[in-house]
Structure 1
Amino acid sequence: MENKNRRMWRQVLPSLANIVAGWASFAAFSDGMDCAFVKAKPMEFPMSNLEQHLSVYSQAMNFRTQRHQVLASNIANADTPHYKARDFSFESAMQNAMAGRGSDSIAMATTSGGHIRGGGSGGQAALQYRTETQSAVDGNTVDMDVERAQITDNALQYQIVSQFISEKIKGMRSALASTSG
Structure 2
Amino acid sequence: MSERLFGIHGAALELRSQRMGLLTSNIANAATPGYKARDIDFAAALAAKTSGAGTDQALAGNTLYRIPTMDSADGNTVELANEQLAFAENAVAYSATLSFVQGKVDTVKRALKGE
TM-score (norm 1): 0.56
1:131-142 map, 5 Å:
131-142=67-78
Shift of 1:127: 1.5
* 1:152 aligned onto 2:88: yes
In angstroms, what is the RMSD of aligned CA positions?
1.8
Mapping 1:14-163, distance limit 5 Å: 50-53=1-4, 54=6, 56-100=8-52, 102=53, 121-124=54-57, 125=59, 126-163=62-99
For 1:98-132, what per-residue CA distance to the aligned partner results, in whole angstroms no more than 9, with x for missing partners? Answer: 112x3xxxxxxxxxxxxxxxxxx432513111121
- Runs of 4+ residues deviating >4 angstroms: none
Gaps of 5+ in 2: none
Identity of aligned residues (%): 34
Give the letter for the 2:55 counterpart.
G
Deviation at 1:175, TM superposition (A): 3.4
CA distance in 2, matches of 1:122, 1:93: 8
1:168 aligns with 2:98: no
The TM-score, its normalising length taken from structure 2, stands at: 0.84
Larger fraction in helix: 2
| Distance (whole Å) between structure 2 residues aligned to residue 67 and residue 122 of structure 1 | 12
Once structures 1 and 2 are overlaid, which stretch shifts more, 122-131 or 58-67?
Answer: 122-131
User: Which structure is larger by alpha-carbon Rg, 1 or 2?
Assistant: 1
Give me the whole-angstrom Cα distance separating, in 2, the residues matched to 1:173 and 1:80: 47
- Partner Cα distance (1:55, 1:84) in 2: 34
